[in-house]
Amino acid sequence: DRIFDRELAHVRASLEAGGSAQEKLLLFSDFMIEELKGMQPLMPILLEFFSLAARKKHVMRRLNQYFRNYLEILTPVIQQGIEGGEFRPVKAESAAIAVGAILEGTILLWVYDPETVDFEEFIASNVRLLLSGLRREA
């Protein structure tokens, strides 16, 4: 809980600063990459935690809350981009889920094959790809 709560508090504080929605999402991506770098030694423990979630409802509830907290943070940022004309009209929550899928999916792929998957490069490039798809054409 402390790891998740600390992460969320830092992300919220960072995103409350000014800037465009795109800048905020890139800041979020950079923050998550730095967090993952620091958590590399803990990955086996985190994977065990994810494994427990399949068997223990209280663990699943905690992971679900963690995910929902990120949606509560990212969805308004994306909505800000839509309303400000920065992003094309999309369902903001779906785009926020896509950001989460990039992060969580990359973590799993990295665990399976760390020699092939450079999580830092993969997350950064895929968030930029997502942003490219969200951007409103001029």
Query: How far apart are alpha carbons 79 and 97 in whole angstroms?
Result: 13
Average pLDDT, stretch 52-68?
85
Query: How far apart are alpha carbons 33 and 17 in whole angstroms?
Result: 19
| pLDDT level of residue 123 (50, 70, 90 thresholds) | very high
Q: Would you say residue 87 has pLDDT above 90?
A: yes
Q: Would you say residue 138 has pLDDT above 80?
A: no
Phi, psi of 136 (to 5 degrees): -75, 135
Q: Would you say residue 34 has pLDDT above 80?
A: yes
Mean pLDDT estimate for the chain? 87
Domains of the chain listed by start with CATH number: 2-134 (1.10.357.10)
Predicted pLDDT at 92: 98
Average pLDDT, stretch 79-92?
96
Q: Residue by residue, what is the 3-state secondary structure of the chain?
A: CHHHHHHHHHHHHHHHCCCCHHHHHHHHHHHHHHHHHHHHHHHHHHHHHHHHHCCCHHHHHHHHHHHHHHHHHHHHHHHHHHHCCCECCCCHHHHHHHHHHHHHHHHHHHHHCCCCCCHHHHHHHHHHHHHHHHECCC
Q: What is the pTM of this model?
A: 0.84
Predicted pLDDT at 2: 60
Question: What percent of the chain stands above pLDDT 90?
Answer: 43
| pLDDT level of residue 21 (50, 70, 90 thresholds) | very high
